[in-house]
C-alpha cells in the first residue's frame, strides 16, 4: 500500500513573492496571511507577496515561512486532500507540521514563532555568530572538526545533520572561521550560510529557556497523524513530549538524515514538500531515491502529484478515499463554537469515518458504493456543522466525485 508523508521546510527557504500564487488560488490560503498579520502585529501578507528587505530579519522570516507553509497546506487540502501517514518539519518547519496536523492552533503557532524569533535575536544581540554547510565528508569528521577548534565559551557544533554527506555547523563567528580555514587546507567543500544567528547551538540557551516558559500554558493536542520530532527522528508520543522538545530544538541539532531513514523504514512511498522552494525534496532525492519526492511549490510537481494520486492511490485501494475525506474534514477551519453541536456534528461522524477506514485496512478490501456514499454524508455533516460555505462544500464534493471517476 502507498504511504504519504508531508515535509515542511524551515528558515532559509523563503524568497520574495512566495505567497502570491496561493493568495490567488484559495480563499482559505488568503485568510492565513491575514490572520498571521493580525495575530503577530507584523504585515505577514506583505512579507510573503512583495519584495522587501524586511524578509531578511529572523523574526519576520520565521513568521513568513510558517504562514506560507500553512497557506500552501490549505491549497494542498483543496486540490489533493489525502491525509498523510506522517509529517516532518525541518527546524521551524516542525511548527508548520504540528499546526497542519492540529496539534497547535494557528493563532498560537503565530504568536509562538514571533516570540521564538524575538528570543533568538535577543540571545545573540551581543554575540557574533554564523553557520556553514559542510559537504562531502561524514558527520563524524565534522564532529571531530568542531571539537578540534572549540574551547570553553567559544565553540561551534553540528546544527543540522541533513544527509550522510552534508552537515551544517553553527556557533561563534571566530571559531567558525577557524573551522573553515581547516576545511580549506584539507580541500573539503563548504558553503557559508547567509545568516547571522547561530541556529541550533548552545549560544541560544537563553532563548530556549524563555521559549519553554512561553509553552508552559500553551494548549497542545496530539496531532491527527504522526509528526516526527527533530530531536529523536521518531514520532511524538505525548503532548508533554511536544511541549518539552520544541524549546530544546532551539539548541539541539536537527536529525534530518535520521528522519529520512525513519520515513524509509516506515514504508513511505510518496513525500510532498509543503512550503517555499525545494530544499527538502532535493535532500530526500539524494538520500532516499526510492521515495517519490515532490515539491508543492513547483507547478510541474503538482501536476505529477495529482496524476500519481489519481492513477495509483485511488485505483490501488479505495480505502484512500476515506483518508481523503478525513483529510478534508480536519483541514477546514471550524466556525461553530457550540460544543454540543460540534460533538454531534463533527466528533461523532469523524469517529465513524475513522472506524470504517481501520476496518477496510485491516480486512484488505475496498469500500463499496454504499459505504462511499456514507462517508460523503459524514463529510457533508462535518462541513456544515463547521459552517463551511455551501458553495465550497459543493466544490469539494465535485472534486471527490471527479476523482472517483479516474
Catalytically annotated residues: 91, 200
29, with CB counted inside 10 A (0-12, 13-18, 19+), is: buried
Number of CB atoms found within 10 A of residue 291's CB = 18
Residue from 118, 113, 75, 122 nearest 93 by CA: 113
Contact between residue 357 and residue 326 where contact means Cβ atoms under 8 Å apart = yes
Give one DSSP letter per residue of 186-207, joined into a string.
HT-EEEE-S-SS-TTSGGGHHH
Residue from 119, 123, 113 nearest 203 by CA: 123
Residue from 13, 3, 11 nearest 87 by CA: 3
- Please report, to the nearest 10 degrees, the dihedral formed by the alpha carbons of residues 285, 288, 291, 292 taken in order: 10
Sequence-distant (6+) residues with CB within 8 A of 364 are none
For 33, the grid coordinates are 496571511
Alpha helices in 309-347 (DSSP H): 314-316, 319-331, 339-342
Q: State the Cα–Cα distance between residues 298 and 43, nearest whole angstrom.
A: 25
Contact between residue 47 and residue 64 where contact means Cβ atoms under 8 Å apart = yes
Q: State the Cα–Cα distance between residues 123 and 159, nearest whole angstrom.
A: 17
| H-helix or E-strand spanning residue 227 | strand 226-228
End-to-end CA distance of the chain, in Å?
19
Q: In Å, what is the CA distance from 234 to each residue of 100, 263, 403?
A: 18, 9, 33
Please write down the HEC assignment for all residues of 30-53.
HHHHHHHHHHHCCCHHHHHHCCCH
Alpha helices in 233-276 (DSSP H): 239-249, 256-265
Number of CB atoms found within 10 A of residue 314's CB = 17
Residue 233 φ/ψ region, left for φ over 0, alpha for ψ in the -120 to 50 degree band, beta for the rest: left
Amino acid at each position: 500500500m502507498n504511504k504519504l508523508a508531508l515535509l515542511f521546510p524551515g528558515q532559509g527557504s523563503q524568497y520574495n513573492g512566495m505567497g502570491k500564487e496561493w493568495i490567488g488560488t484559495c480563499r482559505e490560503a488568503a485568510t492565513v496571511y491575514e490572520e498571521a498579520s493580525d495575530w503577530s502585529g507584523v504585515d505577514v501578507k506583505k512579507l510573503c507577496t512583495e519584495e522587501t528587505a524586511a524578509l531578511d530579519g529572523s523574526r519576520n522570516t520565521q513568521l513568513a515561512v510558517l504562514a506560507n507553509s500553512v497557506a500552501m497546506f490549505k491549497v494542498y487540502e483543496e486540490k489533493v486532500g489525502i491525509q498523510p501517514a506522517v509529517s516532518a518539519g525541518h527546524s521551524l518547519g516542525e511548527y508548520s507540521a504540528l499546526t497542519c496536523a492540529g496539534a497547535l492552533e494557528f493563532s498560537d503557532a503565530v504568536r509562538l514563532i514571533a516570540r521564538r524569533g524575538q528570543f533568538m535575536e535577543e540571545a545573540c544581540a551581543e554575540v557574533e555568530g554564523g553557520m556553514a554547510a559542510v559537504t562531502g565528508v561524514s558527520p563524524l569528521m565534522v564532529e571531530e572538526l568542531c571539537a578540534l577548534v572549540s574551547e570553553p565559551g567559544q565553540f561551534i557544533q553540528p546544527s543540522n545533520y541533513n544527509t550522510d554527506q552534508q552537515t551544517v555547523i553553527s556557533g561563534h563567528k571566530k571559531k567558525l572561521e577557524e573551522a573553515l580555514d581547516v576545511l580549506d587546507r584539507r580541500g573539503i567543500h563548504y558553503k557559508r550560510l547567509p545568516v547571522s544567528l547561530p541556529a541550533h547551538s548552545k549560544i541560544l540557551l537563553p532563548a530556549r529557556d524563555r521559549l519553554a516558559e512561553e509553552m508552559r500554558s500553551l494548549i497542545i493536542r496530539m496531532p491527527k497523524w504522526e509528526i516526527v520530532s527533530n530531536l529523536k527522528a521518531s514520532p511524538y508520543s505525548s503532548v508533554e513530549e511536544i511541549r518539552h522538545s520544541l524549546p530544546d530544538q532551539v539548541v539541539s541539532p536537527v536529525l534530518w538524515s535520521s528522519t529520512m531513514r525513519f520515513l524509509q523504514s516506515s514504508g513511505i512511498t510518496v513525500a510532498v514538500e509543503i512550503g517555499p522552494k525545494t530544499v527538502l525534496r532535493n535532500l530526500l532525492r539524494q538520500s532516499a531515491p526510492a521515495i517519490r519526492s515532490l515539491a508543492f511549490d513547483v507547478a510541474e510537481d503538482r501536476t505529477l502529484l495529482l496524476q500519481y494520486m489519481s492513477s495509483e492511490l485511488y485505483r490501488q485501494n479505495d480505502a484512500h478515499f476515506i483518508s481523503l475525506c478525513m483529510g478534508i474534514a480536519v483541514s477546514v477551519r471550524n466556525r461553530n463554537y457550540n460544543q454540543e453541536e460540534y460533538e454531534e456534528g463533527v466528533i461523532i461522524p469523524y469517529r465513524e469515518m475513522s472506524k470504517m477506514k481501520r476496518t477496510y485496512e485491516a480486512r484488505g478490501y475496498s469500500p463499496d458504493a454504499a459505504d462511499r456514499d456514507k462517508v460523503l454524508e459524514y463529510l457533508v455533516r462535518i462541513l456544515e456543522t463547521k459552517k463551511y460555505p455551501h458553495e465550497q462544500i459543493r466544490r469539494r464534493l465535485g472534486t471527490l466525485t471527479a476523482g472517483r471517476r479516474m
